[in-house]
Amino acid sequence: MSLLDLVKTARKSVAVTGLTILVAGMVAGCQVRPLYGPTAGSAALGNSSVQAELAAIEVEPISDSVQGRELLNELIFKFERGTTSPEKRYSLKVLMDTNTTSVGVVQLSDVPSAYSLTMNATFVLTDLNTEKTVTTGRSFATASYNHSVQRFSNLRASREAGERVARAVAEDIHVRLAGFFASHN
């Protein structure tokens, strides 16, 4: 083996070693962790600080509509996860409205064949101790349903579309607040 070959081999090993150290340094700085996983500051492995913060949210009544009650129930269940509720530290106020529009029209009769139900929600999370706004956001969801000649079928389809949009908006609010608490712990 000549001196030139030894130099080439040494350069390759130095380059590979340097690249390995660089990649290891980049991976060591990675902050990927499960959203609901335990953090270093959580007391027990089964209870993360994000879950505890979400369970401490009191959801104010939203509206008397079916969609408002569905949204309220979904939010409470998602935050407390069916367990006993701890002392509340936050208040969540949700303002929501729904809008139904006809999407398709049957030719020659001008009767809608499908509808689209849209729910818009604005939420404000407030700290109960300081009365200061912690975070705000907006969420929306849309669900469509078909219109038939049967009255009960139309009522049921409309109600199920309302339940679908309420679940989608509740999931979006839940994920946004979980992300907020995960990034601010």
Q: In the chain, what are the domain boundaries?
A: 1-32, 49-183
- Mean pLDDT for 20-28 is 65
Nearest residue to 144 (alpha-carbon basis) of 122, 109, 119: 119
Amino acid present at 39: T
How high is the pLDDT of residue 45? 44
Alpha-carbon distance of 178 to 124, in angstroms, equals: 14
- Mean pLDDT for 31-38 is 57
How high is the pLDDT of residue 119? 94
How high is the pLDDT of residue 30? 60
Which residue did the predictor score with more confidence, 138 or 84? 138
Which CATH code for domain 49-183?
3.30.160.150
How high is the pLDDT of residue 44? 46
Nearest residue to 176 (alpha-carbon basis) of 35, 55, 71: 35
Which residue did the predictor score with more confidence, 7 or 62? 62
Residue 37's φ and ψ, nearest 5 degrees, are -75, 160
Q: pTM for this one?
A: 0.73
Residue 149's φ and ψ, nearest 5 degrees, are -85, -10
Alpha-carbon distance of 38 to 34, in angstroms, equals: 8
